[in-house]
Structure formats: structure tokens, C-alpha cells
Structure 1
Amino acid sequence: MMTTRRTILGAALAGAAAFRLAPARAAAPEQATIALGVGGKPLLYYLPLTIAEQKGFFQEQGLNVTINDFGGGAKSLQALIGGSVDVVTGAYEHTIRMQAKGQPIQAVIELGRFPGIVLGVKKDLAGEIKSPADLAGRKVGVTAPGSSTNFFVNYLMAKAGADPQQAAFIGVGAGLSAVASMQQGEIEAIANLDPVISKLEADDAIAILADTRTEEGTKEIFGGSNPAAVVYLKTDFIEANPNTVQALVNAFKQALDWLATASPDDVVATVPEAYYLGDRDLYLRAVAASKETYSQTGIIPPDGMQSAYNMLQQFDPELASAEIDLGKTFTDRFVVAAG
């Protein structure tokens, strides 16, 4: 076969792309075996985690990562504070709330720049529940009480002039259990993410009240950007294990870079079939709809941190009087080093 200049150039470009997808391996991790907590791993909110796992990016960085999937983000946070996991992929808001409680944790890379959370109501109740304020006295399904889905509804209710404590929040998980809870009438409204929301929409089971799967929807609700999933750890772990943290961030950055150019079909071919919720085509559409939610840089912008803080202050009285240093909730040094 004749080798042409175009062939050589194409190979060079492919090699360059592969190089960009593979950050330099960090120095030997101080702790190579890592326990990671997540609340609802099959959710598209946490897709970068599954990509890092399935594509072998953790192993490339010298890490052996055991993933513990909990019912919601609040439970994975509890596991971190309790010491049963070393690192969490979870909502950025937890870094703010824990600082107020005197338990410092810090995010080291942003995975999602929009929350991707959707609030929907049971279709036959759409005439009664027209606003988040109408959720007072209603049963609202969230991934787990105290998780980002719960915070989202709290914020929307407070913003609408209602008391979030008047709603009954019920943990329904992040998969088929959440779908079944709505379909069986166990809840009257739901705050969840894709593919759960796309499944309920396809079944014509819900009417949408609020949607943060797009930049436009996020700005309409929060007035600006609002960081979503991040990777966070206790600050003392970060200080004691910088090489381990760098290796983790390298792997997650590699996953974000892969997602930036991957097609929905590439994603569907990579994740476990159980993620489809029994409908591959629906999952494919959900992936396509969620593509813009993922972080493009891995770095949380200052206005995003402020937006999250402002949201929490709307309904969390503890934060109304607390002095929060947002600069301590996220460090970009590992993302910058990952390149």
C-alpha cells in the first residue's frame, strides 16, 4: 500500500488526539487502592465515572478503584465522613454544607456544569400542581433525602414562596425503582435525572415543571451557571495523598475529554446494558440530550460556586449565618496539572 502525505498527516493527527486523551501518568500514588462512593451510578449525571471505569482510565493511572453505589448522594457523603470510602463523585453543594458543619471537604474536578435535574409531576395532577409552591403537602420522590435532587426541590419551593418542610420527601433511588414509584402512584412528583426522566417522559407519566438539562434551563432557574457533579474528598486526604488525587483527576479528565468527542452511539456501546432501563433507543436519546451538561474544562467557575451558595442560602438556615470561604470548596491545581 502506498504511503501518502495525507496518510502520514492523518496518523499524526490521530496520535495527537490520543495523546490529548491520555494525561501524563501521575507519580506513584501514595494509596493505589481507592474506595469510591456514588449515589446512583447509572444516572447520566455520573457518566464520566462510568466512562473512566469502563475505558480503563483508572488502571492507566495506577489505581485500583472499587465503586460503591449508594441510593443517593447524601448516603455517599455519609460514607466519606464515616470513613468507609476515600472519595465521592457527588454534588458540589455538599462541599459548601460540610464547611458550615466544620467538616471540610474539597472538590478537585468538575464533571457536570449543569445539574441535569428535572422536576416533574404526575401527569393527572398537572392541573393541580402548576408550580413548585403547590408541592406543599405532596409526596415528592428524590434520589435520597438530603441529596442534590432534594436541594433542587427545596430551592424551587423556597423561591416560589413555599416552605420546603411542608413537602414529604421520599427516597426512590435512581433507576427502575424511581420509575416504578411514580407509575404506581407512591409519589405525586419527582426530582430525578436521565435516563429516569426520559423514561417517564416516554411513558407519558409526568409533566415537567423545571428542567436543568440545558444551559438555557439552568440560567432560567438559577440566573447563571450551577455546577453539578464533582469529585470531592476530605481535605486532609488531599494533603496526605497528592499523587493519588492527581491520578484520580487525570482519569476523570481523560473521561471528560473522551465524552467531548464521543457520539451517543459510542457512549451506548461503552456503558453496561443495565443502564438502558430496558430501552436502548430511549437511553440513546437521553445521552444525546445530556451531552451539553458535562464540564468542558473540569474547572468550576467562580460564578458557578456563588450560584450554588446562593441556592443553598434560600432554604438552609444554617448557611444564612455561616461564613463560607468558597475558595476552599474547590481547587483547580490538579485539573491544571492534568492538562
Structure 2
Amino acid sequence: MTVPYKTLAAVAFASLAGQASAAEKITIMVGGMEKQIYLPAKLAEQLGYLKETGLDIELLSEPAGVNAETEMLSGAAQCVVGFYDHTIDLQARGKMVESVVQFSQAPGEVILVSKAASAAIKSPADFKGKTLGVTGLGSSTNFLTQYLAARAGVKYSEFTTLPVGAGSTFIAAMGQGKIDAGMTTEPTIARLTSTNAARVLVDLRSIKSTVAALGGPYPAASLYMQTSWVNSHKAEVQKIATAFVKTLRYINTHSAKEIAEKLPPEYYAGNKQLYIDALDSGKQMFTPDGVMPPEGPATVLKVLATFDKAVEGKTINLSGTYTTEFVKAAR
């Protein structure tokens, strides 16, 4: 039987199109790659799990989660490693985004008070008239800072938030007196507290302390994507989700030292042991399997509805802000 030329051409074209689709670059934008809260992103790459997917995946870093979110919405990235709370804020603004893998069940952040302002700031009630550092305006550090202030009776108009990033830029801002206090993550926390340049005021690194400060568990670091992209790329999403579930399992079953050994030396910020110690005390924040804590979304919505004008008074469909479909299939 002779196959018509047009049919052969169609088959060849379909084959090439399939190859092109498989080779399509997928960009994962991370809201600060060196932050320990986003450790699974780089670790998945270092362990070879992202390569095992067979996909062309590129990891890029932005200094704040809000910048990473903007890159996704503009089409420059397909996925974001950032805080789950952005999915709720975005739904309130008419954009459907969902967490596909939930990395953590606590923010992994603290509010630090500088040595110079230590006597004046004893609790969030003392934020009035002060300048507080956040990674970026519209970032999760900004969200949580606003909530802690509001819960203590301080209005947003009564203090100033200044975007100072994380790491060396945060440390410089505090050392130069540009901020009195600020919310940041490891390893920045350890770098400042180990030299007594700052002290911890509010600790959101463990589930217990998070519940005490926020009134419930607060799922934070996650892998999120636009719902339309998830629905049109289910095979790719499953491969990526499986890679991150394997990474979370690795974190759960290995010591902080073993994990640190897999990372590039620059992640230690000049002090490897300090990095290991911080990770050892904080890695409990990570979920063992990527599944969303059942009570978590309601806590996040409650927090955002307190001060976020976009969310306030809106009906939010929490089931549309995350999915467990892919992590459960990965298990």
C-alpha cells in the first residue's frame, strides 16, 4: 500500500511539532534563589531532579516574590517559586493562579530589630513612626508586616515600609540606619543575630510560633503557575511536580549538612557552618510531600483580608488557589 505524500508530510510535521513542544523552554522564576525558604528550587537542580524530567527548565532569580510574580504574568516565566498568598491576592484581582507544590507550612521569616532601635521596639505595637524593611512593596514580607502591625493596632499609614531586598542589601540598610526593623529570611537572619547587630522580634520559622503570631498555620513557599498554563501543560506540570516532591523528600530524610554540601559555595554567604546551623533549626518548615496543609489557606485568607484592599470584601474560591492533583500522583 502506498501512503500519499501529503499524509507523510503531515506525519513528519506533527513529529517535528511534537519535538519543538518538548523542547520548549520552561522558566521557573524564584523570588530570591539564595533564601533558605526557597531551598527546594536550587536543590532540585543540584540533585539532577529537574534534568531527569527531560524538560528544558531554566531557573532564574528575582530579589522579591512580587517581581517573580510580575515576570510570570508578563509571560516571561511559566512558573514561580514564591509565597502561596500571592495566589489569593491575584484571584481577588481577577487572575487565576494556583499552587501546584506546597514547599512549606510556615513562612520561615522573622522580624528583626536593629541594635540601635532595640530599646524603642519591643513589639509590633511599637512600629508607629518607624521604618520597616521588606523585600519589595507588594511582597509577602510586606503582607505579613502589615498584618502584624494591624493586629497590634498600628495602621499602615502610621509606619513606613522600605523595599531593601534580602541578604547584603538588607544588612546594609539596617547597618546604615535606613530601617529600624524588617522582615527577612535565612541566612540573613543568622548573619545579623550572630554579630548582635539585630535581635528577633517576631519569629515565623516554626509551625508553633507561626500559629501563635498569625492564628493558624501559614503555608508559604510554593511552586505556583497560572491556572490556564497548568490546564494546557498537565504532562509538563506533573514532571516538574514530581521533581520537587522528590526534593522535599530528600530534605526530610537528610541532615542540614548533607543538604548544604549539595549547594554552590556562594549560598553560604561566607560562613558555611552558620548556614548549616540555620538550616538545621529551620528545615522543619518544609512539607515532606508537597501537600497543602488543610487549614492553611483559610489562615492566609484571614491574614490578607485584614489589610489587603484587593481581597477585603471579595469572595475568594480557595479551592482555585491550589491543587494537590500533581503531588498526590507523584507519591
- Aligned with 1:271: secondary structure? coil
Structure of larger gyration radius: 2
Look up the equivalent residue of 2:135 and give its one-letter code.
T
Q: Following the alignment from structure 2 to structure 1, what is the Cα–Cα distance between the partners of residues 231 and 135?
A: 32
Give 1:75's aligned residue: 67
C-alpha contact 1:38 1:67 (8 A) present in aligned 2: yes
Give the match's secondary structure for 2:29.
Answer: strand
Specify which of 239, 249, 257 is matched with residue 249 of structure 2: 257
Instruction: Tell me if structure 1 keeps the 8 A contact 2:110–2:183.
Output: yes
Query: What code does the residue aligned with 1:62 have?
Result: G
2:133 and 2:39 map into 1 onto residues whose CA distance is 22
User: Residue 160 of structure 2 corresponds to which residue in structure 1?
Assistant: 168
2:315 is equivalent to residue 323 of structure 1: yes
The letter for the 1-side match of 2:51 is Q
Matches for 1:233-272 after TM superposition, within 5 Å:
233-272=225-264
Q: Structure 1 pair 211/35, CA: closer, same or farther in 2 (3 Å)?
A: same
2:142 aligned with 1:150: yes
Whether the 8 Å CA contact 2:23–2:56 is kept in 1: the answer is no
SS in 2 for 1:187: coil
* Aligned 8 A contact 1:32 1:244 in 2: no
Assess if the C-alpha contact under 8 Å between 2:116 and 2:180 holds in 1: no
Task: Within 5 Å, give how 1:9-20 maps onto structure 2.
Answer: none
Looking at structure 2, the residues matched to 287 and 301 of structure 1 have their Cα atoms a distance apart, in angstroms, of: 21
Q: State the alpha-carbon separation in 2 of the partners of residues 167 and 78 from structure 1.
A: 26
What is the SS of the residue equivalent to 2:116? helix
Q: Which amino acid aligns with 2:37?
A: Y
Distance 1:160 1:52, change over 3 A: same
> Are 2:29 and 1:37 equivalent residues in the alignment?
yes
Aligned to 2:185: 193
CA contact (8 A) 2:30 2:41 kept: no
Partner of 1:22: none
Aligned residues: 313
Per-residue deviation at 1:30?
5.1
Q: 1:31 to 1:108 in 2, by over 3 A?
A: farther
State which of 280, 302, 306 in structure 1 corresponds to 2:298.
Answer: 306
User: Do the aligned residues in 2 keep the contact of 1:106 with 1:235 (CA within 8 Å)?
Assistant: yes
SS of equivalent to 2:170: helix
Q: Does 1:227 align with 2:219?
A: yes
Change over 3 Å in CA distance of 1:190–1:244 after alignment to 2: same
For structure 2, the 5+ residue unaligned runs are 1-18
What amino acid is the match of 1:155? Y
Shift of 1:124: 2.5
Give the Cα separation in 1 of the matches to 2:294 and 2:22: 31
Matched, 1:295 2:296: no
Deviating more after overlay: 87-96 vs 171-180: 171-180
* CA offsets 1:59-103 (integer angstroms, 9 cap, x no match): 101122212211100000011111111100000000001000001
Gaps of 5+ in 1: 1-27
Contact (CA 8 Å) 2:28, 2:77: kept in 1 or not? yes
Tell whether the 8 Å contact from 1:35 to 1:65 is kept in structure 2 after alignment: yes
User: Normalising by the residue count of structure 2, what TM-score does the alignment of the two structures yield?
Assistant: 0.91
- Matched to 1:268, the amino acid is A
**Residue of structure 1 equivalent to 2:9:** none
Deviations 1:104-151 (A, max 9, x none): 101101001110110011122122111212222222111111111111
The secondary structure found in structure 1 opposite 2:312 is helix
Q: 2:40 aligns with which of 17, 24, 48?
A: 48
Q: Does 1:110 align with 2:115?
A: no
Tell me the percent identity: 34
Whole-Å separation in 2 of the counterparts to 1:64 and 1:137: 49
The question of whether the paired residues in 1 share the 8 Å contact of 2:22 and 2:55 is answered with: no
CA contact (8 A) 2:248 2:287 kept: yes
Aligned to 1:59: 51
How many angstroms does 1:32 deviate by? 4.6
**In angstroms, what is the RMSD of aligned CA positions?**
1.5
Partner of 2:4: none
TM-score (norm 1): 0.89
Mapped to 2, the partners of 1:180 and 1:54 lie a distance apart of 30
1:266-285 pair list within 5 angstroms:
266-285=258-277
Q: Deviation at 1:192?
A: 0.4
Secondary structure, counterpart of 2:311 in structure 1:
helix
| Cα shift at 1:314 | 1.1
Conserved? CA contact 2:103–2:222, under 8 Å: yes
Q: Supply the AA of the counterpart residue of 2:226.
A: K
Partner of 1:10 in structure 2? Answer: none
C-alpha contact 1:212 1:218 (8 A) present in aligned 2: yes
Q: CA deviation at 1:31?
A: 6.1
The amino acid across from 1:267 in the alignment is I
